[in-house]
Amino acid sequence: MKKITLNIALAVSLTMVACGAAKEKTVIDTDIIKPVIITEATLHDTDDPAIWVNPNDPAQSMIIGTDKDVDGALYAFDLNGKVIEERTVRGLKRPNNVDIEYGLVIGNDTVDIAVTGERFTHNMRVFALPEMKPIDNGGIPVFEGEEGAEFRGLMGVALYKRPTDGAIFAIMGRKTGPVDGTYLWQYLLEGTAEGTVKATLVRKFGYFSGVKEIEAIAVDNELGFVYYSDENVGVKKYYADPEMGNKELALFGKSTFLDDNEGISIFDAGNGKGFILVSDQQANQFQIFSREGTADNPHQHELLKTIKVSTNESDGSEISNVAFNDTFKHGIFVAMSDNRTFQYYKVEDILGELLKK
């Protein structure tokens, strides 16, 4: 679901000491952090948000959120939590997760895209932002050749833009899959002469414990890593570039969650540093890990802090460091709640003293 926000000049500069965060003792906040805005309710069942940053006017940015049902939708919200009806896509067949990427080349143009998966059609859906115009010919089949609806039932999605050549990839997950290291499938997205998008399978990767499922996926574009939640087991880390191989680089959060480790979002604090936020779903809290690892091991992600929030049973979340408006001067954190809403938090309320490190 979740991915680091595109670094643009409008992003605020947030710094922290290079070696201090990893050695910090874990802090558990007992106070419940409240959102500053709660969106209008969807019809069915919210699951996962993504943030589209308007490059011309960040105050006109949008939150795109899934409403998972056989009569589901991708909802577009403004920064006040109001539904933008003309940009909301309805009639989707149970879209679970959504992600956003910037600058896909299609012909002589480039477009920003939102990607989701329909669990009941086994199709990837691609929409051009900000209009949310479909550019996928009605859907792109994925996990072809897999037997059984559950092995093709789309859930997680994360987009990766390779810095070296600008190639954009979609990493797709499903309701269940094999334990042999091929749970996630990665597709290269390319524009066509007809103005649509095609997807080419380039890799199968990702070990699965077999315990529950893998849904939440997040990509760190800048550092080149993909993370996913193997629920009830921990968060696993791989290279996002398919040419870097399929070695598992880390497994963290193995014993710190009440039950399911779920939605993942990545905060960029500058210079390769920052935080990985993971939903402790049944505890109604988020655990915050170091993004950069330790001085000795970049793949050792220490737990820095646990925060209580007002979201209930949160599946998905997203965070951005962009200065959007007077309310979200240091960025926004968006989390799904099971009352059919998404909740908007100030980044400084979520990260607190970690922003000063």
At 221-256, the pLDDT tens digits run 999 999 999 999 999 999 999 999 999 999 999 989
Tell me how far apart the alpha carbons of residues 241 and 93 are, in angstroms, rounded to a whole number: 30
Q: What mean pLDDT do residues 95-123 have?
A: 97
Cβ within 8 Å of residue 250, ≥6 positions away:
235, 236, 237, 299, 300, 301
Closest CA to 328 of 98, 76, 40, 78: 78
140 bridge partner residues = 124
Q: What angle do CA 189, 194, 199 make, to 5 degrees?
A: 20
Residue 242: helix, strand or coil by DSSP? helix
Closest residue by Cα to residue 309 from 28, 92, 54, 16: 28
Predicted confidence band at 30 (pLDDT cuts at 50, 70, 90)?
Answer: low
Contact predicate 98/157, CB 8 Å: yes
Q: How many CB atoms lie within 10 A of CB 40?
A: 13
pLDDT of 14 strictly over 90:
no
* pLDDT range class, residue 149, cuts 50, 70, 90: confident
Beta bridge partners of 64: 50, 76
For residues 10 and 55, what is the distance between their CA atoms, to the nearest angstrom?
A: 8
For residues 343 and 337, what is the distance between their CA atoms, to the nearest angstrom?
7
Count other Cβ atoms within 10 Å, centred on residue 245.
Answer: 10
Mean pLDDT of 285-295: 96
d(CA 49, CA 264): 11
pLDDT number for residue 150: 87
Distances (CA, A) of 53 to 97, 151, 217: 18, 33, 20
User: What sections of 34-74 are H helices per DSSP?
Assistant: none
Provide the pairing of β-strand 37-38 with 27-33.
Answer: unpaired
Mean pLDDT of the chain: 92
Phi, psi of 210 (to 5 degrees): 85, 5
Share of the chain above pLDDT 90, in %: 88
Model pTM score? 0.91
Is residue 23's pLDDT more than 60?
A: no
Whether residue 81 is predicted with pLDDT greater than 90 in this model: the reply is yes
Domains of the chain, with CATH numbers? 2-356 (2.120.10.30)
Rounded Cα distance, 257 and 288, in Å: 12
Q: Is the pLDDT of residue 10 over 90?
A: no
Q: Compute the C-alpha angle 100/104/106, nearest 5°.
A: 140
Residue 12 scores a pLDDT above 50: no
